[in-house]
Amino acid sequence: MEKKGQRRPVWDAAGVHALRRHLGLTQQELADELGTRQQTISEWERGLYRPRGASARLLTLVAERADFAYEAVPGEGEEKDAP
């Protein structure tokens, strides 16, 4: 469980896209892995929304297991909500 003030990644469009490319997956394949729609992945990658909640946590776990380098920021709020 996260503790207050703990650093966590904030997933932006470039980060989601870079992770997907690092994994060698299409948007549909990543959506299938995360249990979401391809449209949602597309919206994240276009910057219309950011992953939040369980989706953001799942991306973080996937990134860590895939040795994907991402930048952690202080655990404050995120700007836009995901669908």
Residue 56 counted as domain residue: yes
Residue 62 counted as domain residue: yes
Above 80 in pLDDT, residue 82? no
- Using a pLDDT cut of 70, give the percent of the chain over it: 76
Above 80 in pLDDT, residue 73? no
Per-residue pLDDT of 20-47, as tens digits, reads 999 999 999 999 999 999 999 999 999 9
Residue 2 counted as domain residue: no
Residues sharing a CB contact under 8 Å with residue 37, sequence separation 6 or more, in sequence order: 31
Enclosing domain of residue 32: 7-66
Q: How many domains does the chain have?
A: 1
Residue 31 counted as domain residue: yes
- Asked whether the CA dihedral 18, 78, 31, 58 is positive or negative, the reply is positive
| CATH number for the domain harbouring residue 54 | 1.10.260.40
Residue 83 counted as domain residue: no
Q: Which residues make beta-bridge pairs with 8?
A: 73
Residue 78 counted as domain residue: no
Residue 81 counted as domain residue: no
Residue 74 counted as domain residue: no
Predicted confidence band at 10 (pLDDT cuts at 50, 70, 90)? confident
